[in-house]
Amino acid sequence: MLVEHSALWRHVPDTLQGYQHCKSDVIFPLEQGEELWREGTGFLQGQSPVILGRESALKEQELIATQHISRKDTSTVMPVQKSHTPEDPFEYNGLEEDFTHTFMLTQHLLTHTEKTPYISQQCPKSLSDQSYLNQHKQIHTRGKSCECHLCGKAFSNCSSLRRHEMTHTGEKPYECHICGNAFIQSSDLRKHNLTHTGEKPYECHLCGKAFSQSSNLRQHERTHTGEQPYECHLCGKAFSKCSALRRHERTHTGEKPYECHLCGKSFSQCSALRRHEGTHNGEKIMNAFSKYSDLR
C-alpha cells in the first residue's frame, strides 16, 4: 500500500499552509519530477525558499516513504485511511521501528537522507532538517518564544505549545459523554457535540441550507458563486473542492484504487466500484432464479 500523501504534506511547514493550494499541487509536480520552487519563478514564488529549495530531498523522501512505509494490518482495497492514532502506528520496514506519527517517520527518514545539519543564523542552534529550521526561525522573526522540541514549530505562548504537544503525545482531555470520542480542544468537543444534537448554526443566506460547521457552509457557498479555486495543473480544469481535484487527477495517473473482490476489476472511484458490484448482485439473482427454475 502506498503511503497517503498526508504523511508528506503534514511535514510542510506553515509557510505553505496559509496558501490556497491543495496538497496535490505540491505532491503532483514532485511526482512528475518538476521543481516546485525556483528563485523568483516558482509556482509558490514569494514564499520562503526553505521548503521548496529542498525539492530533491522531498522527492527522495516521498520515494523512500512510498517504498518503505506500510501500515500494520492494512486492507488492500481501502485507498485512504483515517487519521492515525497512537494505537495505530506506522512501521518503517527498514528498521522495524514504530512511529506514532507520520511526520515523525518522515523526519526519521530524513536522517537517512541528509547529512548536513541546518544551522540557525540567529542562535547557535543546529537542526537536522530545513523545515525544522524554518519553524525555528519564527522564534527570531515573529517573536514566538515557545518551540516544540519534537517538530520545531514555534508558538507565541507556552499554552499554545502545550496544546500543540498533545498532537504528539496523543493526549485528548476533552471526552464526549455520549460516544466517548476524545479531543484535544474543548471547542473541538463542542463542534463534535453538534453531531449529536443535530444543531446546524450556519445557514446559507442564499438558499437557507444549514450546516453544522462554517467550513461546510463555505464549501456549499461555492456552488452559488461558482468559485473553483483548485485547478489541475495538467489540463487546467478547475474544481470547487480539493477532493474533487484529487479525484480528477486519478484520470491522469490512471490510478484505480478500488478493486472488485469478485472479478478483480478496478475503478478510480469508490462509487463506481459500488455501482459495478451491483451488476454482480444482478448476476447472483439471475443465477439463483435459474437454479430455482431448474428445480421445478
Site for DNA in 29-88 (CB under 7 A): 78-83
Distance CA 223, CA 43 (A): 27
Give CA angle at 101 (99, 104), nearest 5°. 70
Burial (Cβ within 10 Å: 0-12, 13-18, ≥19) of residue 132:
buried
Q: Does 253 bind DNA (CB under 7 A)?
A: no
Instruction: Give min distance, CB of 11 to DNA, in A.
Output: 12
**Contact map string, positions 135 to 174, toward DNA, x by CB under 7 A:** ------------------x-xxxxxx-xxx-xx-------
103-142: contacts with DNA (CB under 7 A): none
**Contact map string, positions 230 to 249, toward DNA, x by CB under 7 A:** -------x-xxxxxx-xxx-
Q: Which residues contact 228 (CB under 8 A, 6 or more apart)?
A: 222, 238, 239, 240
Q: Does 269 bind DNA (CB under 7 A)?
A: yes
Q: Which stretch binds DNA (CB under 7 A): 11-19, 49-57, 61-69, 120-128?
A: 11-19
Distance CA 206, CA 51 (A): 41
167-226: contacts with DNA (CB under 7 A): 167, 181, 183-188, 190-192, 194-195, 200, 209, 211-216, 218-220, 222-223
Please say which residue, 56 or 156, places its beta carbon nearer to DNA. Answer: 156
Pairing type for strands 238-239 and 230-231 reads antiparallel
Q: Does 275 bind DNA (CB under 7 A)?
A: yes
Among positions 93, 265, 289, 290, the unique one binding DNA when judged by CB under 7 A: 265
Burial (Cβ within 10 Å: 0-12, 13-18, ≥19) of residue 112:
middle
**Side-chain-side CA neighbours of residue 291 (13 Å):** 6
Instruction: Give min distance, CB of 116 to DNA, in A.
Output: 26
Binding residue count for DNA, defined by CB under 7 A? 79
- Which residues is 175 bridged to in the sheet? 182
